[in-house]
Structure 1
Amino acid sequence: MSEVVKLATCIALVYIQAGGVAELLNTINKQIIKQPIDTLKVCVPSFVYVVQNNLLYVSASHLDAATYQVTYQLKILTTALFSVFILRRELLRTQWISLVTLVVGVVLVQLAQPRDSPLPASGPEQNRLIGFVAALSACCLSGFAGVYFEKMLKGSDVTVWMRNVQLSLCSIPFGLISCFIYDGHIINEKGFFFRLR
């Protein structure tokens, strides 16, 4: 649903920039339909974002909120590393020190958690290792997708709003497929907008 909202918002912004419905349709035709290879390149980060979001749900269900939030901040480190390797950026010494401090902080938070923390009786069984690995994987995917998307933006004349339209158009099918794989029976029984309590 977040991708649907993003798609609607970005189409509205492209409409405002284009100056009318005919111009909007012409822009979409020119930059999405007539450039299928360019649009397919956007499928890489859109697929990665869908996998990342699913990993974040797994992580959030296996870690307490504070640990989850602190661990997910490692995306700053992975984004910096990917920008060094993919975009050939150079980081200052103070930036490297800050990144190391971030990693040390995440490690300390992980080590400070009690091994036998009581779980609520009604909640699902939690596994801290699964939660941590899922969060770490999501951080790596987030860093890669963000830097890949930035490289795509810098390497073309397509606006950021149109890139987000392309991203949403690719993400929505991936998201729907993952919804039906994980919760297809519930969606068929209760409907798409049913909320588990």
Structure 2
Amino acid sequence: MQWYLVAALLSILTSSQGILTTLSQSNGGYKYDYATVPFLAEIFKLLVSSFLLWRECKSSSPPKMTTEWKNVRLFPIPSIIYLVHNNVQFATLTYVDTSTYQIMGNLKIVTTGILFRMFLRRKLSNLKWIAIILLAVGTTTSQVKGCGEASCDSLFSAPIQGYMLGILSACLSALAGVYTEFLMKKNSDSLYWQNVQLYTFGAIFNMARLLVDDFRGEFENGPWWQRLLNGYTLTTWMVVLNLGSTGLLVSWLMKYADNIVKVYSTSMAMLLTMVLSIYIFNLKPTLQLFLGIIICMMSLHLYFAPPNMLVNSPPAVKALPESLNEVLVDRTTDS
């Protein structure tokens, strides 16, 4: 499957994720424990990857699977980074409001490009760097609210701790993605075997989070496994399947494409979510959204368009036939 088809599908699923999550609410809140959704999504990804790996093992050419501990021990690291990142996110929201937090989240576009260059040694042309910066500017523009609103002034009024934590959050998000790409491409192991390792540790860490929540609440609502599916509806299950399918597509992109493609896919998903929300939730479209979409489309064209579509190359000079070259040389010699 071509990477752009996977990226387009990822954009669609990611854009529907926020909408499905909103639709799963009841009276402005959740009847289910939202912390159980990532855990079940990890279980779903683990089951799907295990099944596909089993099918690969039954084929005529068994997949390559590295089982040495020195390789397996690298796979918990993304889960640890995401765990720290989630805590940094909560800490950031104690200093800044939601609008400022969303705008600062676009820093991960630039930090992904920087870490992509530093750790994976992938050189980006000047045009690609301009495209990445334009993408960050476009997504930020689409999220800026009108200056007549009170939240417009809050972007530059947060304490310095909020900005520092926002930068740290962007760096951790980029680091997790770049490190995952490094893991997926460091050898020729089967994608499904690598997924099994990633999602096994992901499920363990999410289960640990549920246990910590139980201890913090002193088991007031009972252990997590007894209330795991409490309040689940069809929409909630769609949220779980959507989140799990998104993770599987991201791992495919990490293996066969790269982090920049994933960044573009998720950024386009954010814009698509905002457009769909206008029709689903009757939100009012803004000039900033329109301008942000235009800037992001320019960025998309700059990054992925072939060079000959971006720069007018000089017309090629046709080489003279060898016989004509000989005649010209002879005439020069005679003269």
- Normalization by structure 2: what TM-score? 0.43
**CA deviation string 1:143-176 (max 9, x = no partner):** 1121111111112223333323312322344444
**Structure 1 vs Structure 2 CA RMSD:** 3.8
Contact 1:72 1:139 in 2 (8 A): yes
Q: How does 1:1-197 map to 2 (within 5 A)?
A: 1=36, 2-19=38-55, 31=65, 34-101=67-134, 102=136, 113-114=153-154, 128-178=159-209, 180-181=211-212, 184-186=215-217, 188-191=219-222, 192=224
One-letter amino acid of the counterpart of residue 43, structure 2: L
**CA deviation string 1:12-49 (max 9, x = no partner):** 243145239x96xxx9xx948x4322221112222111
Higher helix share: 1
Structure 1, unpaired ranges of 5+: 118-126
**Cα distance change of structure 1 residues 57 and 103 upon mapping to structure 2, 3 Å threshold:** same
**1:61 CA drift (Å):** 4.8
**CA deviation string 1:108-163 (max 9, x = no partner):** x7xx533898xxxxxxxxx7544433332121111112111111111222333332
Equivalent in the alignment of 1:121: none
Give the Cα–Cα distance (whole angstroms) in 2 for the partners of residues 154 and 183 of structure 1. Answer: 37
Contact 2:52 2:192 in 1 (8 A): no
**Cα distance change of structure 1 residues 60 and 31 upon mapping to structure 2, 3 Å threshold:** farther
**Cα distance change of structure 1 residues 61 and 180 upon mapping to structure 2, 3 Å threshold:** farther
**Cα distance change of structure 1 residues 84 and 186 upon mapping to structure 2, 3 Å threshold:** same
Question: For 2:121, what is the secondary structure of its paired residue?
Answer: coil
One-letter amino acid of the counterpart of residue 114, structure 1: S
Aligned residue pairs: how many? 178
**Cα distance change of structure 1 residues 12 and 100 upon mapping to structure 2, 3 Å threshold:** closer
- Normalization by structure 1: what TM-score? 0.68
**Cα distance change of structure 1 residues 9 and 100 upon mapping to structure 2, 3 Å threshold:** closer
Give the Cα–Cα distance (whole angstroms) in 1 for the partners of residues 190 and 82 of structure 2. Answer: 20
